[in-house]
Amino acid sequence: MDGIGLLLLNAALTAFGFFVTAPILLNAISAFGVQKKFAEAMIQEGIIEEKEVRQMQPKKQAAGIIVAVIVIAAAVLTARRVDYGLLCLAFGFVMGLLKYRSILQFNSLTVKRFQNTYRDSYNAAKLNKYVDKMF
């Protein structure tokens, strides 16, 4: 593969590393850290019951790991077949990690993930009061 085709494929690998692999890996990591701690805080505040968290959190963590491994493996296998593909993928991945590192912090994204995960099982009034107080 020469010329413009190689350039376009390497650009796609860089974009994939930035927009896809980095956020997916950070999201999987945050399921074990930030999201787990936030769920524990919600239990203490009486916003959700512990049994709901025990049912959902391990599933969310397992799904995050499986998706991250599949996506990263596919990206690396594809990048290995292209000249400079691993370098382009790694560059996009590192820049994505720097850009999206806020996923690993308590912020409004953590609250939105909590709301999506536990849609019908949390006390919305208490959560809104907690969010107004903390954020």
As a whole number of angstroms, the distance between CA 57 and CA 93 comes to 26
Is there a contact between 20 and 100 (Cβ–Cβ < 8 Å)?
Answer: no
As a whole number of angstroms, the distance between CA 10 and CA 42 comes to 44
Domain that holds residue 82: 4-134
Query: Average pLDDT of the chain?
Result: 94
Instruction: Give the count of domains, the chain.
Output: 1
Nearest one of 25, 36, 35, 17 to 92, comparing CA atoms: 17
Taking every pair of Cα atoms in the chain, the longest distance, rounded to a whole number of angstroms, is 61
Question: CB-based burial of residue 92 (10 Å sphere; 0-12 exposed, 13-18 middle, 19+ buried)?
Answer: buried
pLDDT at 92: 98
pLDDT at 120: 87
- Three-state DSSP state, 48: strand
pLDDT tens per residue across span 17-75:
999 999 999 999 999 999 999 999 999 999 999 999 999 999 999 999 999 999 999 99
The stretch 9-19 carries a mean pLDDT of 97
pLDDT at 1: 63
